Chain A
Amino acid sequence: MKIAVCVKEIYNLEQVKIVRETREPILDVPKKLDDLSRNALEEAIKIREKLGGEIVAISAGSPELRKTIKEALAMGADRAAIVTDFTESSPESAALVLSRILEKDSYDLILLGDASSDDYSGQMASRVAETLNLPQITFVSEIREVSDGKITCVRDMDDYIEVVESDLPCVVSVTNEINEPRIPALKDILKASKKPVENFSLQDLGIEISRSYEIVENLAPAVDRKQEVIEGEAAEVAGKIAEIIGREV
């Protein structure tokens, strides 16, 4: 099995700070591999453990990606193929870049996270599948079987589930219920530093980025606080808090 896993670097959202007055985010924080990308990668590793083969981590992002991609290599990808001058990202351009990298090789299975925890647009699997003219299975919460050129997946549809079978190669996007991604140990991280990373530029891939839309504003949601301060003895304060909660519920 040759598996490609498309992974995404995102800002470490836990560290993003918001300027309260203007509601603007301060994005001067390190990047990390998105959580759902980890789920996709974990699933690929499980398949490789059963069937053998190779896992290639595919990604497009900023120059920092050279560092972030090591997280994928440490988790267990065998090598990586990345573009690191892709900073003006949009779903359609990202799908195009990923597809161009994927076309450079042939894969039995292409795995992705269902959406990334930053933009959460959730378009990548479908866009990549359409660009490469491959079947797609989205919202996958379980991969039941991979054998004889076929894959069987469980799709989580909230109220019900669907069991879908497809021929390989196929694009599969996974939800966070599918597994618990492993945390790499020291020896995995050391190994990762020696794994090959192929670094393309957009020019190598013959891609010019165009944007069909423009981000006008990127602000944190406005939160109205009541700013009520309750003072007094602990028992008294607790009583008042209980009363307020009772009123609000």
Chain B
Amino acid sequence: MDRFDAVVVGGGAAGLGAAYRMAENGLNVLLIERGENIGEKSVYGGRIYSWVFEEYVKGFRDAPIERWVRKERMTLLDEKESVSIEYSSDESCSFVANLTKFNRWLAERAEDAGALVISGIKVEDVKLNPAKIVADGDEIECDAVVIAEGVNPMLAMRLGLREDWKPEEVAVGVKEVFKLSEDEINSRFDVESDEGVANLFVGYPIFTHGGGFIYTNKDTVSAGVVVRVDSAMNNMIEVYDVVEKFRTHRDVAAFLKGGSMIEYSAHLVPEAGIKGIPNTLHKGNVMIAGDTAGFVLNRGFTIRGVDFAFYSGILAADSIKEAMDKGDVSSAGQIYEDKVRKSLILRELERFRKALDVLENTRFFDEYTRMMVGIMNGIFDVRKESNRLYDVVMDKTKGRKLRMVLDLLSAFRGL
């Protein structure tokens, strides 16, 4: 049986980062994906921050990028009204991509670099000392294993590297994709062909942890809802129901009107930030990366995961290379641990530790969203007599000013 320097389990952003980087560095690497094709299990709306791909992937500008995000919109929704804030810029640091296609492209780059990428095979077990993987009853030995199996950490759990997610640590996201023409999207969202919009929604229809999203692809629009699993359970929220409500809200439907729904998919998203990172990210020369390790940062305004995943794969690859170069390959796991703990990923997650407490506060998703919409209504709803801003704000914040000021202060500090 063949022997490899390293085996990567999972062909998502993290696994592909590891396989691509190792192949670039001349390592003999095998990536095994469980889905029939690379990308098939990847679900993401979604906006991806480009820095890591610009830095590490040759020819990245040829990747299947749908649109570069030039407009950021935050929308507070209630049943009938909405308030939006838009930020627009002629520069962009993120792009919208269909992660399935994007990962397929990354896999081709990894193969071009010399990685062996195979799909349709489930890795049943990972063993230590020496590191090996088991699939279809066969064992493949290697110097190191990178587990990048995504949000369902079956192998990581079996190795005792992490526990399964608790309901309050993950959200369920549902995405629908609507087919429209490129011109229609340009005019509806007021953008040029290579420009895109990322629009996050808070409030209706869930009024609790999570929210809605709209992202513009080239000639499709992705829209959907993310709800934290415990909140969905406690509030008897049925995901299909809120997706329907979101889609049919006047201010959402306006963007999707006439579009034929061509895709419906759902996925879990780690939401526990720094608290979801296990105490150790390696065992011997087996290391965990991406969603498996919980490398997702939600700070309310932005959600990052794909760039962190890819980057953690790069770090795993570099650790293995470094250990081999040192002549002590068995140290790869520890090197990875040290690298990640010192890396941008953990620094960012640590910096936004307090964001977790802020976002835990459901008043932002319900009370304050309605309050803000109500204030706007008070200002703009002119029927003969108009209201002074002072009166509107005093009326809408009656009896809850102190709590609100404290909450806003915490948000200001935490986010």
Tell me whether A and B are bound partners: yes
Known A-B contacts A30-B104, A193-B116; the reply to A186 vs B260 at CB < 8 A is: no
B-contacting 9-mer, from A17-25, A47-55, A238-246: A17-25
Contact in complex: A19, B135 (CB < 8 Å): no
Contact in complex: A187, B260 (CB < 8 Å): no
Residues of B within 8 A of A18 (CB): 262
B136 on interface, CB distance cutoff 8 Å: yes
Contact in complex: A20, B32 (CB < 8 Å): no
- Closest residue of chain A to B37, judged by CB? A30
Contact in complex: A19, B118 (CB < 8 Å): no
B175 → chain A closest CB, angstroms: 14
For A, the interface residue count at a CB cutoff of 8 angstroms equals 17
A185 on interface, CB distance cutoff 8 Å: yes
**Residue in contact with A190 in the complex, picked from B2, B101, B179, B260, CB distance below 8 Å:** B2
Contact in complex: A185, B137 (CB < 8 Å): yes
Residues of A within 8 A of B101 (CB): 28
B55 on interface, CB distance cutoff 8 Å: no
A107-140 vs B: 1/0 string, CB under 8 Å? 0000000000000000000000000000000000
Give complex CA distance A26, B101 in Å. Answer: 14
Give complex CA distance A17, B265 in Å. Answer: 13
Give complex CA distance A28, B179 in Å. Answer: 13
Contact in complex: B1, A187 (CB < 8 Å): yes
A57 → chain B closest CB, angstroms: 18
Residues of B within 8 A of A21 (CB): 258, 260
Contact in complex: B135, A186 (CB < 8 Å): yes
A10-38 vs B: 1/0 string, CB under 8 Å? 00100001111110001010101000000
A207 → chain B closest CB, angstroms: 28
- Closest residue of chain B to A14, judged by CB? B36
A189 on interface, CB distance cutoff 8 Å: yes
**Residue in contact with A20 in the complex, picked from B1, B30, B260, CB distance below 8 Å:** B260
B265 → chain A closest CB, angstroms: 12
Give complex CA distance A22, B50 in Å. Answer: 35
Residues of B within 8 A of A19 (CB): 179, 260, 262
Residues of B within 8 A of A28 (CB): 101
Residues of B within 8 A of A187 (CB): 1, 136, 138
Give complex CA distance A186, B261 in Å. Answer: 36
B121 on interface, CB distance cutoff 8 Å: yes
- Closest residue of chain A to B260, judged by CB? A20
Contact in complex: A186, B136 (CB < 8 Å): yes
Give complex CA distance A128, B235 in Å. Answer: 65
Contact in complex: B121, A189 (CB < 8 Å): yes
Q: Please tell me the size bucket of the interface on B.
A: 20 to 34
Residues of B within 8 A of A22 (CB): 260
Docked complex: B114-155 residues within 8 A CB-CB of A: 116, 118, 120-121, 135-138, 140
Docked complex: A186-232 residues within 8 A CB-CB of B: 186-187, 189-190, 193
Q: How many A-B residue pairs have CB under 8 A?
A: 46
Give complex CA distance A197, B361 in Å. Answer: 60
Residues of A within 8 A of B36 (CB): 12, 30, 32
- Closest residue of chain A to B122, judged by CB? A186
B328 on interface, CB distance cutoff 8 Å: no
Residues of B within 8 A of A190 (CB): 1-2, 30, 116, 118, 140
B181 → chain A closest CB, angstroms: 11
B263 on interface, CB distance cutoff 8 Å: yes
Give complex CA distance A185, B139 in Å. Answer: 12
Give complex CA distance A187, B137 in Å. Answer: 10
Give complex CA distance A187, B140 in Å. Answer: 9
Contact in complex: B32, A186 (CB < 8 Å): yes
**Residue in contact with A189 in the complex, picked from B37, B118, B137, B263, CB distance below 8 Å:** B118
Contact in complex: B262, A17 (CB < 8 Å): yes
Give complex CA distance A186, B263 in Å. Answer: 31
Residues of B within 8 A of A186 (CB): 32, 118, 121, 135-136, 138, 140
- Closest residue of chain A to B134, judged by CB? A186
Give complex CA distance A28, B177 in Å. Answer: 14
Residues of A within 8 A of B140 (CB): 186, 190
Give complex CA distance A20, B32 in Å. Answer: 35
B1-30 vs A: 1/0 string, CB under 8 Å? 110000000000000000000000000001
B114 → chain A closest CB, angstroms: 12
Residues of B within 8 A of A193 (CB): 116, 118
Give complex CA distance A106, B137 in Å. Answer: 38
Known A-B contacts A19-B179, A190-B118; the reply to A185 vs B138 at CB < 8 A is: yes
Give complex CA distance A21, B120 in Å. Answer: 33
A229 → chain B closest CB, angstroms: 13
Other than the given A19-B179, A28-B101, A190-B118, 13 more pairs (CB < 8 A) read A12-B37, A17-B262, A19-B260, A21-B260, A22-B260, A30-B37, A185-B136, A185-B138, A186-B136, A186-B138, A187-B138, A189-B121, A193-B116
30 A-B pairs, CB-CB below 8 angstroms? A12-B36, A17-B262, A17-B263, A18-B262, A19-B260, A19-B262, A20-B260, A21-B258, A26-B179, A28-B101, A30-B36, A30-B37, A185-B136, A185-B138, A186-B32, A186-B118, A186-B135, A186-B136, A186-B138, A187-B1, A187-B136, A187-B138, A189-B118, A189-B120, A190-B1, A190-B2, A190-B118, A190-B140, A193-B116, A193-B118
**Residues on B facing A (Cβ under 8 Å):** 1-2, 30, 32, 36-37, 101, 104, 116, 118, 120-121, 135-138, 140, 179, 258, 260-263
**Residues on A facing B (Cβ under 8 Å):** 12, 17-22, 26, 28, 30, 32, 185-187, 189-190, 193
Counting from the closest, the 5 A-B pairs by CB-CB distance are A185-B136, A20-B260, A17-B262, A30-B37, A186-B135
